[in-house]
Amino acid sequence: MDAGVDTLQKALQINLDPRWYGTIAEIGAGQEVARWFFRAGGAAGTVAKTMSAYDMSVSDAVYGKSDRYVSKGRLQAMLDHEFQLNVDRLGDDRGDDTSFFAFADTVVARSYRGGNECHGWMGVKFQSHPRDEPSQVVLHVRMLDDEAALQQEALGVVGVNLLHAAFFQHHQPETLVESLLDRLTTGRIEVDLIELSGIEFRAVDNRLMALKLVQLGLSGAAMFGPDRHVLQPSEVLRKKAILVERGSFRPPTVVNVAMLEAARARFEADPAVAGREILLLGELTMANLRAGGDVVDRRDFLARADLLAACGLTVLISDYVAYHRLAAYLAWRTDGAIGMVMGVPSLIDLFDEESHAALPGGILESFGRLLKNDLRLFVYPMLRDGEVVTVDTVRVGEELQPLYDYLHRRGSFVGLDDFDPAHLPILSRDVLRRIPTDDESWEAMVPAEVAALIRKRGFFGYRRER
């Protein structure tokens, strides 16, 4: 796709608008963003200064010491420094008529040796009106092209898109997100974090922006913590042992929590986990959030997110319906052990051959991908016809039982035998059905902090007047 015409038009529109004036500072992949503004013409009306502090000592002298140069902390230091310089140096002369900005990026593109991760941080700190408090947009991007020159080009286009969106679409945050890949494709650039802050974005919940990234295909996954702040997945997952539970969490029940606690006890006893920090994740898939339709109910999503936060869980939103794709995503970002927590019904679903039809090797390829690197499934029992079904008593299709028995014997399925039999009948959908009614028995089926938040916030139809 030819990015040139559209990107030049955006750069020219900014150059010809007398409101915006500021700095473009770029480290790591040339001056690819600034180049578009000079090519478009009229850059003197927009660009007060461009710079590239490639040498680490020079960079430290300008922006302060940093342990990592391609990091959010370094980007923030660049944005703060350059923005304040503009205000201090130019505010008296033109502050009444000018909205100052600072754009910065710090990236690592493909080296001539190749093989390195190609990613970086990019952001803009800007005034939407003269003398206004600043607002800010920060992104983390991954460059997916094979050649450094193409990566540089893509980075320049995203930078122009970001500046244009911040200046002209800050009042429509979702449109701002959608425009980031104008004239590009998701095969060239991935955006796995966006954080909007400052006066123009004071009403924005960045968890909704994280959801938007995955909805649009800008990233296969996005993440946020119990404090509601969005997280950059690679940084959070790096070198940790990961234990992830997929669910609807509508709402989280005592069973969801018990599954994770029982799995953690078994997981941390594994010698491969010794000495590693364990990260517990609650995963929501886009398929579950869409609930068979095309639209995600935002209030429902935020309710689930708040309830998982109340349980202290970091949340991963993913578009990886197939478990082996989730496994690959996590394994690429950590060298630590990975465990997946599920109930017996989900384990049985894994032995449905039709669900693996998209792979050339079918169910065998799927399990091969899922269980490589010694990934293990921690499986909680279920109740069927009054009988407790465990990993030891599961029966799948006759032709697939030998495969099940082999994987069980090799230790891929770990039965969780620390469970309360009274909890086994509890299902999220049953709890959900009771919440809007006068049947208060649901409160004992969820953790106390979940029940308190549902009552306080009126989630899932709970009538607060009661």
Do 276 and 413 sit in the same domain of this protein? Answer: yes
Do 252 and 394 sit in the same domain of this protein? Answer: yes
CATH no. for residue 389?
3.40.50
| Residue 443 covered by a domain | no
Do 413 and 265 sit in the same domain of this protein? Answer: yes
Q: Which long-range contacts (CB under 8 A, 24 or more apart) does 43-48 make?
A: 43/15, 45/15, 45/16, 45/17, 45/18, 45/21, 46/14, 46/15, 46/17, 46/20, 46/21, 46/22, 47/21, 47/22, 47/23, 48/21, 48/22, 48/23, 48/86, 48/90
Do 193 and 78 sit in the same domain of this protein? Answer: yes
Quick one: pLDDT at residue 420?
Answer: 94
What span, in angstroms and rounded, lies between the C-alpha atoms of 324 and 59? 42
Do 168 and 304 sit in the same domain of this protein? Answer: no
Residue-by-residue pLDDT tens, the chain, 466 positions: 455 669 999 999 999 999 999 999 999 877 899 999 999 999 999 999 999 887 888 888 899 888 888 899 999 999 999 999 999 999 999 999 999 999 999 998 876 666 677 899 999 999 999 999 999 999 999 999 998 889 999 999 999 999 999 999 999 999 999 999 999 999 999 999 999 999 999 999 999 999 999 999 999 999 999 999 999 999 999 999 999 999 999 999 999 999 999 999 999 999 999 999 999 999 999 999 998 678 899 999 999 999 999 999 999 999 999 999 999 999 999 999 999 999 999 999 999 999 999 999 999 999 999 999 899 999 999 999 999 999 999 999 999 999 999 999 999 999 999 999 999 999 999 999 999 999 999 999 999 999 999 999 999 999 987 6
| Residue 450 covered by a domain | no
Quick one: pLDDT at residue 112?
Answer: 63
Whose CA is closest to 140, among 81, 186, 72?
72
Task: Identify the residue whose tokens are 């703060």.
Answer: 80
**147, 182, 204 — which closes off a domain?**
204
Quick one: pLDDT at residue 3?
Answer: 56
| Residue 434 covered by a domain | no
Do 341 and 416 sit in the same domain of this protein? Answer: yes
DSSP per position, 427-461: -HHHHHHHTTSS-GGGGGGS-HHHHHHHHHHTGGG
Do 271 and 188 sit in the same domain of this protein? Answer: no
| Residue 430 covered by a domain | no
Which residues in 59-181 belong to E strands, given as ranges?
A: 99-108, 119-126, 135-143
CATH no. for residue 192?
3.90.950.20
Q: How many helices (H) and strands (E) does the chain have?
A: 17, 16
**186, 204, 222 — which closes off a domain?**
204
Residue 332, token pair as written in the block: 């690429």
DSSP label at residue 217: T
Quick one: pLDDT at residue 1?
Answer: 41
| Residue 429 covered by a domain | no
Quick one: pLDDT at residue 4?
Answer: 61
Quick one: pLDDT at residue 134?
Answer: 98
Do 391 and 293 sit in the same domain of this protein? Answer: yes
- Residue 396's alpha-carbon distances to 15, 352, 374, 403, 425, in angstroms, are 65, 9, 23, 10, 21
Q: Which residues pair with 343 in a beta bridge?
A: 380
Do 199 and 250 sit in the same domain of this protein? Answer: no
Residue 223, token pair as written in the block: 């993440």
Structural domain containing residue 414: 235-423
Q: In what order do the strands lie in the sheet with 20-27?
A: 47-51, 20-27, 99-108, 119-126, 135-143, 189-198
| Residue 23 covered by a domain | yes
What backbone torsions phi and psi does residue 319 show, to the nearest 5 degrees?
-105, 25
Q: For residues 209 and 305, is the Cβ–Cβ distance under 8 A?
A: no
Do 254 and 109 sit in the same domain of this protein? Answer: no
Quick one: pLDDT at residue 22?
Answer: 98
Do 247 and 192 sit in the same domain of this protein? Answer: no
What span, in angstroms and rounded, lies between the C-alpha atoms of 152 and 330? 27
| Residue 215 covered by a domain | no
Do 361 and 282 sit in the same domain of this protein? Answer: yes
What span, in angstroms and rounded, lies between the C-alpha atoms of 69 and 83? 19
Residue 423, token pair as written in the block: 């909890």
| Residue 458 covered by a domain | no
Indicate the number of domains in the chain.
Answer: 2
